[in-house]
């Protein structure tokens, strides 16, 4: 649990424990303010955690900001107890198994610069700051995050969105790895969306009920590329009798958020998969009914809905509502064996574009002959298979690589195979990003002509498709298809 960050490969999907660099500096309720300040100076830290002596559970935090505003500005007595000037309202705690990504979002939502990390019993493990997370981001990510936090209007966020795209394009051009880049894009886009929602909600009188903004599809899987539209919704808590009134009050706000996201470069979804759609602004129980209806159906539309709405995560608001939806889904899907079988059949209808005689086969695109759609016939094969493995086995992760890793841990995918599967998925993502970075026409954003690739890329592309075929073979065995 306390593995040093330097000995493992830490990224935004890593557990928080991997980011803790040293033992936290602590004080007890009996510690004086003078002793706390001296300890902070001695260890060169910006905060000290106040813990219960027996249980080791955090009860407050004292920071340099508190020293400036609560002590120096008011000429407080340094011999008083630190408890008198510590902050407990800003004591945000996460379990050490939470991801670095979750910590970044919690800080963004609450406007704080650190989170407390605790174990399963609530005992202090460490502290993670924004600076720790910034170090994981590519050059320029820190400055953009700061600009997003400081944005006071839509114009500021539009400028930040343009900076994100410029940074992503530059990183692709410099050969940045697809895994790190997609995490960077998703992280910065999430921060921008959170700030946009914060600014927008100030202009609306929203109902006083718990609610959360949900991300679906590629955003829900942390797999956004340079070419992505909006896929979002809202879940709220309200009795059945009040649900319609709550929805009516939330929809104008949702429509304005969608409009402003569009202004920031996230196009409105042509399929209307947006929170401003009344069918996607639902109470918890209404979402249950919607999911249950899909699980009882085997229509093409129900299967399509599964590929969008079963990949979700909360971006803003009450996360417990999204957690409850995820728990409900994981409890009910394993028993929906017929639906899972049809999902597997549907996933297997699209085969890797490997030729019988030549290296590759091609679809019937009249507009783009002799090209391969790297999304439809590439990354999607991994995404669909990983989703089914996750749903069938109660795996909570939503990203494709994390789903595959979790499936391997359960013995559902060979441990020796999973690295090759993930590397293949990211190779395809890298090629997609490269196409999009080059500013190709919209229809070609995910397409590549193998003849235009160098010999090494062609060989790796062929191997990536072979790995997709192997993963599909796993589904065939599981469902005897």
- For 141-184, the pLDDT digits (tens) are 778 888 998 899 999 999 999 999 988 888 888 877 788 788 88
Residues 214 and 128 in one domain: no
Output the pLDDT for position 391. Answer: 95
Residue 142 to residue 46: CA distance in whole angstroms: 19
Please write the tens of the pLDDT for every residue from 3-41: 333 334 677 778 888 888 788 899 999 999 899 999 999
What value, to the nearest 5°, has the Cα angle with vertex 288 and ends 283 and 292?
150
475 — pLDDT class (breaks 50, 70, 90): very high
Q: Can you read off the two tokens belonging to residue 30? A: 């009996």
More confident residue, 365 or 405: 405
Reduce the DSSP state of residue 59 to 3 states and report it. Answer: strand
Give the separation between CA 359 and CA 361, rounded to whole angstroms.
7
Q: Do 319 and 395 belong together in one domain? A: no
Does residue 379 sit in helix, strand or coil? helix
**CATH for 342:** 1.20.120
Average pLDDT estimate for 82-104: 82
Q: Identify whether residues 193 and 49 lie together within a single domain.
A: no
Give the chain's largest Cα–Cα span: 84
- Which of 297, 332, 367 lies at the terminal end of a domain, its last residue? 332
Q: Where does residue 115 rank: exposed (0-12), middle (13-18), buried (19+ CB within 10 A)? A: buried
Per-residue pLDDT tens over the stretch 277-324:
999 999 999 999 999 999 999 899 999 999 999 999 999 999 999 999
- CATH number of the structural domain spanning residue 48: 3.10.580.10
CATH number, domain with residue 228? 3.30.460.10
Residue 311 φ/ψ, nearest 5 degrees? -110, 95
Using DSSP bridges, classify how beta strands 47-51 and 26-27 pair: parallel, antiparallel or unpaired. Answer: parallel
Q: Do 158 and 197 fall into the same domain?
A: yes
pLDDT of residue 4: 38
Q: Please check whether residues 31 and 46 belong to one and the same domain.
A: yes
Phi, psi of 87 (to 5 degrees): -110, 130
Separation CA 467–CA 473 (nearest Å): 10
117 vs 72, more confident: 117
Alpha-carbon distance of 96 to 311, in angstroms, equals: 24
User: pLDDT per residue over 39-88, tens digit each?
Assistant: 999 998 888 999 999 898 999 888 877 777 666 655 667 788 888 888 76
Q: Kindly state whether residues 369 and 222 are assigned to the same domain.
A: no
Gap between the Cα atoms of 104 and 358, Å rounded: 47
How far is Cα of residue 204 from the mean position of the Cα atoms in its chain? 27
Number of domains in the chain: 3
Q: How far apart are CA 204 and CA 254, in angstroms?
A: 10
> What confidence score (pLDDT) does residue 88 get?
65
Look at residue 442 in the predicted model and tell me its pLDDT: 60
Q: Quick: pLDDT tens for 81-91.
A: 888 888 766 57
In this structure, the answer to whether residues 342 and 410 fall within a common structural domain is: yes
| Same domain assignment for residues 43 and 124 | yes
Give, for 126, the enclosing helix (H) or strand (E): strand 124-129
Please say if the pLDDT value at position 461 is more than 90. yes
Q: CA 204 → CA 199, 249, 256, distances in Å?
A: 10, 9, 10
Q: If we measure between CA atoms, which residue out of 74, 92, 76, 97 comes closest to residue 33?
A: 76
Quick check: 200 pLDDT over 60? yes
Q: Is the pLDDT of residue 440 over 70?
A: no
Q: Say which range, 3-17, 98-112, 212-226, has the weakest mean pLDDT.
A: 3-17
- Distance CA(76)–CA(67), nearest Å, equals 10
Question: 266: which 2 tokens?
Answer: 């996230």
Quick one: 303 and 354 in the same domain?
no
Q: Are residues 112 and 164 in the same domain?
A: no
Predicted local confidence at residue 274, as pLDDT:
97
Give the helix/strand (H/E) hosting 220.
Answer: helix 217-220
Statement: residue 121 has pLDDT above 60: yes
Which structure tokens are listed for 100? 């670095």
Alpha helices by DSSP H, listed for 349-454, are 380-392, 400-409, 415-437
- Percent of residues, the chain, with pLDDT higher than 90: 61
Contacts of 13 (CB under 8 A, 6+ apart): 99, 100, 101, 183, 222, 399, 401, 402
pLDDT value, residue 403:
96
User: Whole-prediction pTM value?
Assistant: 0.81
**Residue-averaged pLDDT of the chain:** 89
Domain-ending residue, one of 108, 134, 160: 134
The helix/strand/coil state of 254 is helix
- 10 Å CB burial of residue 202 (0-12, 13-18, 19+) is exposed
Cβ contact 136:168 at 8 Å: no
Write out the residue range of the structural domain in which residue 223 sits. Answer: 141-332
Residue 216 forms beta bridges with which residues? 312
pLDDT, average across residues 126-155: 81
Q: Is the pLDDT of residue 2 over 60?
A: no
- Quick count: other Cβ atoms within 10 Å of Cβ 369? 10
Lowest mean pLDDT among 66-75, 362-371, 433-442, 464-473: 66-75
Q: Is the dihedral of CA 49, 52, 56, 59 positive or negative?
A: negative
At residue 75, the pLDDT reads: 62
pLDDT at 138 over 60: no
pLDDT of 139 reads: 59
Looking at 271, 303, 332, which one is the last position of a domain?
A: 332
φ, ψ of residue 297 to 5 degrees: the values are: -110, 155
**305 and 372 both lie in a single domain:** no
Give the pLDDT of residue 6. 37
> Quick one: CA torsion of 335, 341, 343, 346, rounded to 10 degrees?
-170
- pLDDT for the residue numbered 89: 60
Structure tokens at 153: 């209007």
Residues 449 and 344 in one domain: yes
């Amino acid at each position: 649990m306390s593995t040093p960050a330097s000995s493992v490969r830490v990224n935004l999907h890593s557990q928080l424990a991997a980011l803790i660099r040293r033992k936290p500096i602590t004080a007890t309720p009996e510690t004086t303010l003078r002793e706390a300040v001296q300890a902070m100076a001695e260890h060169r830290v910006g905060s000290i955690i106040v813990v219960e002596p027996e249980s080791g559970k955090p009860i407050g935090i004292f920071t340099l900001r508190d020293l400036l505003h609560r002590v120096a500005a008011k000429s407080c007595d340094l011999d008083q107890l630190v408890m008198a000037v510590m902050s407990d309202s800003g004591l945000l705690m996460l379990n050490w198994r939470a991801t670095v990504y979750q910590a970044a979002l919690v800080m963004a939502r609450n406007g704080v610069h650190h989170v407390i990390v605790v174990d399963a019993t609530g005992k202090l493990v460490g502290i993670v700051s924004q600076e720790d997370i910034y170090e994981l981001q590519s050059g320029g990510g820190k400055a953009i995050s700061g600009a997003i936090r400081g944005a006071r209007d839509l114009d500021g966020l539009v400028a930040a969105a343009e900076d994100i795209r410029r940074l992503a394009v530059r990183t692709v051009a410099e050969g940045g790895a697809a895994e790190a880049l997609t995490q960077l894009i998703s992280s910065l886009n999430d921060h921008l969306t959170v700030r946009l929602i914060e600014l927008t909600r100030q202009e609306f009188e929203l109902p006083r009920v718990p609610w959360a903004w949900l991300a679906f599809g590629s955003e829900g899987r942390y797999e956004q590329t340079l070419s992505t539209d909006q896929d979002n919704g809202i879940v709220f808590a309200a009795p059945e009798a009040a649900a319609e009134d709550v929805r009516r009050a939330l929809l104008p706000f949702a429509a304005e958020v969608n409009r402003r996201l569009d202004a920031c470069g996230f196009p409105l979804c042509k399929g209307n998969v947006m929170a401003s759609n009344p069918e996607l602004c639902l109470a918890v129980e209404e979402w249950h009914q919607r999911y249950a209806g899909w699980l009882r159906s085997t229509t093409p539309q129900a299967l399509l809905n599964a590929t969008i709405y079963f990949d979700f995560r909360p971006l803003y608001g009450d996360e417990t509502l999204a957690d409850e939806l995820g728990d409900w889904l994981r409890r009910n899907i394993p028993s929906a064996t017929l639906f899972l079988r049809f999902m597997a059949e549907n996933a297997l209808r699209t085969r890797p574009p490997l030729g019988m005689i030549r290296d590759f086969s091609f679809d019937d695109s009249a507009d783009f002959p002799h090209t391969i759609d790297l999304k439809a016939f590439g990354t999607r094969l991994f995404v669909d298979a990983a989703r089914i493995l996750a749903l069938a086995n109660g795996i909570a992760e939503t990203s494709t690589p994390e789903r595959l890793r979790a499936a391997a841990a359960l013995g559902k995918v060979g441990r020796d195979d999973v690295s090759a599967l993930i590397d293949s998925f990211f190779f395809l993502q890298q090629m997609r990003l490269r196409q999009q970075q080059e500013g190709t026409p919209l229809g070609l954003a995910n397409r590549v002509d193998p003849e235009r690739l160098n010999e090494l890329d062609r060989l790796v592309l062929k191997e990536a498709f072979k790995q997709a075929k192997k993963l599909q073979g796993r589904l065939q065995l599981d469902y005897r298809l």
